[in-house]
Amino acid sequence: MNRKKLSVGKLAAAIVAGGAAMVAAQEAHAVPAFARQLGVSCAACHTVEPQLTSFGRQFKSLAYTFNSGSNNTISYEQNGEKRLAIDKIPPIALMMIADESWSGKANNASGTPNPSADFPGQYSLFYAGRAGTDLGVFSQLTWDPTTNSVGIDNTDVRYAKETPVGNGNLVWGLDVNNAPGVGDLWQDTPIWGFPFYSPVQGNAGNGGPIGTVLGNVTLQANSVGAGGYVWYNNTYYAQVMLYRGMVPGSTVNTLNGTISNVAPYWRLAYSHEGGVNSWEIGTFGIYGKSYAVGMTSGPQAKYLDTALDGQYEHVATNYSYTIRASYIHESLKVPNAMVPNSTTASGNTTGSVNQYQINGQYYWHRKYGVVGQYFGVSGSTNANLWGDSGANTPVAAPALLSNGGGTSSINGSPDTSGEILQVNYLPWINTKFGVQYVAFNKFDGSSTNASYNNTLSVFMWLMM
């Protein structure tokens, strides 16, 4: 792939003509709606879903609009202008995930490991494909069997164009999505990052470990953002978005401690795309304010997340491997009026959290894979912010929410660390069976009984 100059037409022709070769060289199972649109295997865009290849990043940046060039398109032109370009085959796909998990003592009243089966653990319907010449949609509707409810999952609508600039080419686009990071092109940012699907992490003990707004994807599906991005010569990438709090089914957009007014989000990256090797280093972050949970006025907590990330990917004929890492620092300023344990109503309580991870994966012949990750959280010790095992309770602000519920530290510290080991088997490109083990060295400030949160899971992932 030529990173100096890459046109949509040449790239689409190359991917369609070389589809068989790409299937032989790469492994994946992806949203089949895109595969039907392109006329090639899911392996064209993914190593292992949802991880994107170089072509997959191009496909997403250009608004999911490439097609196979066949006669499967309904089109209409008026006055020399194309007014309609949609596929005859609806861009629909299904995903089903099932798992069986054995969680540690902290997760049940009996104090012994307790198996939990979910069949399915998640069931999703995707509408994914082009909606016009330069307009595309990725939208996920998910049924959650735990609550027996259906809700909007990750959704991304974008308009994109490509134009020559200087000695290279510029991709630019407009994007609307429902969480910071949904529009990202790399898998070292949290919302698309490993473990991709986990029936256990974030479900341990008292609601999951403390983390950051971006690291714990606290704003997923309860915010909406709009903005734009540019990618020059497949090398320099920049995106700016503005997010607004959103509660589905409610006319008030600042409930549940999400976002007061708007929160700016940014993404900058330097990347190399081409051949069997690709890599990226970058930064991302968000600045936001929020009221306490359930409030639409009053004092506001302020948080600033700044992050560094990197990714290296090698995709050869019979094997592939990837290394990713990210580090997120969050600074907090919470008015004492929002701090349950504060002895004064004036002034602020400040604190910080660091959330980091590094993971690597290796796949052989598109069938056998092993993935390992080290993850951790550190930060300032402050029982007024994080709570403790005594009378102190945590602040009800979005930066301190973990998976939708307030998490209380054991000793006033947010520190957590652990490892994940996962082994995968892909008998078919659209099917994955896996075994995952999560081990905690420290959980919410304490290493005592941290292993009670350990979890072993076996799972199945089908894309149709």
Tokens 């996962």 identify what position? 422
- The rounded distance, in Å, linking the Cα atoms of 328 and 155 is 24
Whole-prediction pTM: 0.82
| Structure confidence by residue, pLDDT tens digits, 73-124 | 666 666 776 666 666 666 777 777 777 777 766 554 444 455 666 676 777 8
Question: DSSP assignment of 370-434, as one string?
Answer: EEEEEEEEEE---HHHH-BSSS-----SGGGEETTEE---SBS---EEEEEEEEEEEEETTEEEE
Which whole number is the average pLDDT over 177-198? 86
pLDDT value at residue 27: 30
Residue entry with tokens 């089914």: 249
Domain range summary for the chain, segments of one domain joined by +: 94-463
Distance, in Å, from the CA atom of 273 to the CA atom of 80, rounded to the nearest integer, reads: 35
Distance between CA atoms of 57 and 221, rounded to whole angstroms?
A: 23
Under DSSP, the state recorded for 56 is H
| pLDDT tens per residue across span 14-26 | 333 333 333 332 2
d(CA 180, CA 373): 23
pLDDT for position 430: 76
How far, in Å, CA of 385 to CA of 377, rounded? Answer: 15
Structural tokens at position 203: 């479900």
Q: How far is it, in rounded angstroms, from Cα 456 to Cα 460?
A: 14
CB atoms within 10 A of CB 345: 11
94-463: which CATH architecture? Answer: Beta Barrel (2.40)
pLDDT at residue 378 is higher than 80: yes
Give me the mean pLDDT over the 218-238 stretch: 90
Q: Residue 160 above 70 pLDDT? A: yes
Q: Where are the alpha helices (DSSP H) in 18-79?
A: 19-25, 32-38, 54-61
3-state SS, residue 106: helix
* Exposed / middle / buried, residue 10 (Cβ in 10 Å: 0-12, 13-18, 19+): exposed
CA distances (Å), origin 228, targets 120, 153, 173, 200: 36, 21, 6, 35
Mean confidence (pLDDT) of the chain:
76
